[in-house]
Amino acid sequence: MKFELVVVEKHALKDSHRTLFAEMLKMQGKVQGDLRKKADRCKCICIATTNGKSVAIGAIKKKTDSDFAEHKANIPELSKEFQWELGYLFTDPEFQGHKIASSITQSLIRYFGNDNLMASTEITENPGMVKILENNAFKLHGKPWKVIYTGIFWGYFLK
């Protein structure tokens, strides 16, 4: 399957990007709040398309400070070393299994450069994402923590 990746920097975001991003996050079902505003907290977003259809997204977003806290990953000493997070990765289930998320991850890492970058994901429920992170030099740090509203364990991966 051929697909095209487009990285859109924050200053170039259009309403159509925000709407698409929100629609994909809604389909994912894991992000809360005003989904149209999520793209605006990103340094850049990446959109994968095939045959004119958007099939996957990802982004470099501002880090979530609380994830470093004692009640979560318990690595507060590392908080100041990381400003940006690889996140909002989602592939439409119809297109999963084609390494699109891996390609988005690599594209965003290339765009971002060699600065410190972090990511968080479900550890046992999302082994594919864990593998993508590990294949891109991210390592699990701190302790996994249980997300209150889902009961799922998450982990922090740092690069």
Q: Into how many domains does the chain fold? A: 1
Task: Please state, in angstroms and rounded to a whole number, the distance separating the CA atoms of residues 69 and 83.
Answer: 15
CATH code at position 57: 3.40.630.30
Q: Is the pLDDT of residue 148 over 90?
A: no
pTM: 0.92
Residue range(s) defining the domain that contains residue 18: 4-158
8 A C-beta contact, residue 40 and residue 18:
yes
Q: Are 155 and 140 in contact (CB under 8 A)?
A: yes
More confident residue, 132 or 72: 132
Q: Is the pLDDT of residue 118 over 80?
A: yes
Return all residues near 23 (Cβ < 8 A) that are at least 6 apart.
none
Please state, in angstroms and as integers, the Cα–Cα distance from residue 95 to each residue in 72, 79, 127, 151, following that order: 32, 35, 17, 27
pLDDT digits (tens, 9 = 90+) for 37-49: 999 999 999 999 9
